[in-house]
Copies of this chain bind each other. A is one copy, B any other.
C-alpha cells in the first residue's frame, strides 16, 4: 500500500473491470502482461492503467510487466473480496430471486444469509440453500445475526422506510434495485444504486441518437 489520499470514484469503478480481464487471462493460462498489452485489450491507455494501479502501490516490475495472478489477487485485496459481509435480501419476487441465484456472492465479499418477503405465497419457498422468511421476522433476525448489508428488491414505495429501518438495525450497506434513490451521503452507509430502468432509458436515448454516437467516436 502506498498513498493515504482519497482514491477517486472512477478509479474504484474501474477495478472490477481490471479484475475481470485479469481473471480471464489467468484462466487462459497467461502468466504475465504489460500495461501496454492490457491497455489495448481493454481499450484504455497504458498510462491510465499504470496510474490507476499506482493509487494502491507498485505491483509490476520494470522490463517484465505484471504477473497476472499476483495482480489479480492484489486487486481482489484492494476491493476486499475475501470479506464475508453478511447480507440479507429483502424481496424475493422475480428480481430478488434472480439476484439471489445469479450472483456469486462468495467470490465478491458477501455471504447471503437470509431472504425475506412479505408475500405469504412466497414465504417458505426455497431459493438456493435458503428458505424465504416472512418480513415480520426480519427485525429479530437482524438482532440475532447482525447482517451488514441489505439487498433491496422491493417496490420503490417501500424503499425509504425499509432503508431507514434497516439502518436502525445496523445495516451498513445497501445494494439497491428499487427506483428510489437511497441517499449516497448517508452518515457511514455505503450505497450502490442499480436503477435498471435508468439504464434502459439511456439505451433508448442512445439508439435514437446512433448517428451522433458515431460522430463522437470519430
A residues apposed to B, CB below 8 Å: 6, 12-13, 15-17, 19-20, 42-43, 78-81, 83, 85, 93-95, 97-99, 101-105, 108-110, 148-149, 172-173, 175, 179, 181, 183, 185, 187-192, 194-208, 210-217
Q: Is B194 a contact partner of A207 (Cβ separation < 8 A)?
A: no
Candidates B16, B78, B213; contact of A188 at CB < 8 Å = B213
Q: Is B190 a contact partner of A213 (Cβ separation < 8 A)?
A: yes
Q: 15 pairs across A/B with beta carbons < 8 Å?
A: A6-B215, A15-B201, A20-B197, A79-B204, A80-B205, A94-B101, A95-B98, A109-B204, A109-B207, A109-B208, A173-B207, A190-B203, A191-B206, A192-B199, A194-B196
Looking at the assembled complex, report how far the CB atom of A32 sits from the nearest CB atom of chain B, in whole angstroms.
22
Q: Is B108 a contact partner of A197 (Cβ separation < 8 A)?
A: yes
Roughly how many angstroms separate A206 CA and B217 CA in the complex, as a whole number?
Answer: 33
Looking at the assembled complex, report how far the CB atom of A21 sits from the nearest CB atom of chain B, in whole angstroms.
8
Q: Is B172 a contact partner of A207 (Cβ separation < 8 A)?
A: yes
Roughly how many angstroms separate A207 CA and B105 CA in the complex, as a whole number?
Answer: 15
Beyond A17-B195, A79-B202, A172-B207, 14 additional contacts (C-beta under 8 Å) are A19-B201, A20-B198, A43-B183, A79-B208, A97-B98, A98-B98, A148-B207, A173-B203, A173-B206, A187-B214, A188-B211, A188-B214, A192-B200, A192-B202
Roughly how many angstroms separate A1 CA and B199 CA in the complex, as a whole number?
Answer: 23
